[in-house]
Amino acid sequence: MAISICFAILLLMSRISYAYECNYTSIISFGNSLADTGNIKNLVAIHHSEPPHFLFPPYGETFFHKPTGRCSNGRLIIDFIAEGLGLPLIPPYVGDKSNLRKKEVRQGVNYAVAGATALSSSFHEARGVSNPTTNASLQVQLKWFKQFICPTSSGTLIAHNDCSLPDSIYTNFSPVDCQHLLQHSLILMGEIGGNDYNHELRAGKPINEVKSFVPLVIKTIIAAVNEVIKLGAKTIIVPGNFPIGCSSSYLAMYNNSDTKMYDNKTGCIIWLNKFAEYHNQLLQRELEKIRKFNYHHVNIIYADYYNAAMQLYRSPKEFGFLNGALKACCGAGGPYNFNETVECGAASSTTCADPDTYVSWDGVHLTEAAYRLIYRSLFKGSYTMPRFNSLCRS
């Protein structure tokens, strides 16, 4: 009897704690160009290096009316997440910290860098593949995070009942401060890993070689998830890879008259999509392991970018993409309006009149309209496991 009352109280407490944890006061993000809100832009300025094509117009034209470093015409999935939680758009970590107000930092910091890989640059360099954009791989981003937020954290969990954030949180965070911040943060761990494959495939590496290090990529992502959990994170969203076989850049790169290579419903390249699914299956399997055996009070959420996007490739017209899903809005011609020697933003590239009618923005990244629909499928719909909107009843 006493035991069952105790259980009932425990159950009640865990329900309350879950509801509380859904009140996210901050977003902390790691990843690549799918989530970069300005890190690469600021890195380029600091290092006086050659600005990549996505720092030029027409990037940003639809929403920000200028390039911000985001690889799209407007907002990214992470921007829609921030808006959905009532938070400001997440500022980039790299750059002048004095520009970041204390309040802003408490509402989130973005460590994602366009071009970033999950595995270290040295791993790829040893295979003869160098990263043209950045060496800020996932481990580098985590190091930035720990230096900025948790400089002295030992990783030990300290019980604490007062969950309000202390005022001194901007500098010299103690492990307890760090835990406070993390407990109330939505951690976006990715998408990351896609570039490990992109850079290698573009360098001409055969798919079987690339496939051989998928488990290592997954292991690296899982290690990062475990690390933020040890620091106190309670909700981690881990996105999988997109259906890269539908990407205009790959369609142009592997353009072929062999119709068997293409999915006859979508026009996407079958073997590349199978490869993305392989990555996603391994990732989900490992997430399930850490969910089951390690952390009962942590929400580890898989974000199914693949199938959320696949809806748009299967029936683009239904979603308002009247110009289809495979041809890029911004590019320099060819069957998919993608030419890797003349990328979007180059002087001789052209931009479509209505980006909202295209899924693909520049052949690699999607339009704001596509990202908005994918965001809705994930956070308001059924494409997160467990469902994000089942955690937070509001």
- To the nearest whole angstrom, how small is the minimum distance from the Cβ of residue 164 to ligand NAG? 6
Choosing from 177, 196, 304, 362, the catalytic residue is 362
Helix or strand or coil: residue 379? Answer: helix
Q: Give catalytic status of residue 154 as yes or no.
A: no
Which of 168, 255, 281, 350: binder of ligand NAG (CB under 6 A)?
255
- To the nearest whole angstrom, how small is the minimum distance from the Cβ of residue 312 to ligand NAG? 20
Half-sphere exposure of 168 (CA within 13 A, CB side): 7
Q: How many angstroms separate the CA atoms of 252 and 235, rounded?
A: 38
Stretch that binds ligand NAG, among 58-66, 126-134, 233-241, 372-380 (CB under 6 A): 126-134
CB of 212 or CB of 257, closer to ligand NAG: 257
Residue 29: beta bridge partners? 110, 188
Is residue 334 at the binding interface for ligand NAG, with CB under 6 A as the rule?
yes
- To the nearest whole angstrom, how small is the minimum distance from the Cβ of residue 2 to ligand NAG? 32
Q: How many angstroms separate the CA atoms of 222 and 46, rounded?
A: 31
Which of 156, 161, 172, 341: binder of ligand NAG (CB under 6 A)?
341
Stretch that binds ligand NAG, among 194-202, 276-284, 330-338, 360-368 (CB under 6 A): 330-338
- C-beta separation of 127 from 203 below 8 A: no
Is residue 23 at the binding interface for ligand NAG, with CB under 6 A as the rule?
yes
Is residue 389 at the binding interface for ligand NAG, with CB under 6 A as the rule?
no
Stretch that binds ligand NAG, among 130-138, 205-213, 216-224, 359-367 (CB under 6 A): 130-138
Helix or strand or coil: residue 393? Answer: coil
Site for ligand NAG in 135-154 (CB under 6 A): 135
- Distance, CA of 166 to chain centre: 29
Q: How many angstroms separate the CA atoms of 186 and 85, rounded?
A: 10
Q: Give catalytic status of residue 33 as yes or no.
A: yes
Is residue 257 at the binding interface for ligand NAG, with CB under 6 A as the rule?
yes
Half-sphere exposure of 75 (CA within 13 A, CB side): 17
Nearest-10 crossing angle of helices 270-293, 214-230 = 30
Q: How many angstroms separate the CA atoms of 80 and 117, rounded?
A: 23
Give the total of residues touching ligand NAG (CB under 6 A). 18
Measured at the alpha carbon of residue 261, what is the angle toward residues 260 and 262, in degrees to the nearest 5?
Answer: 90
Binding residues (CB under 6 A) for ligand NAG: these are 23, 25, 121, 131, 133-135, 164, 255, 257, 264, 332-335, 339, 341-342
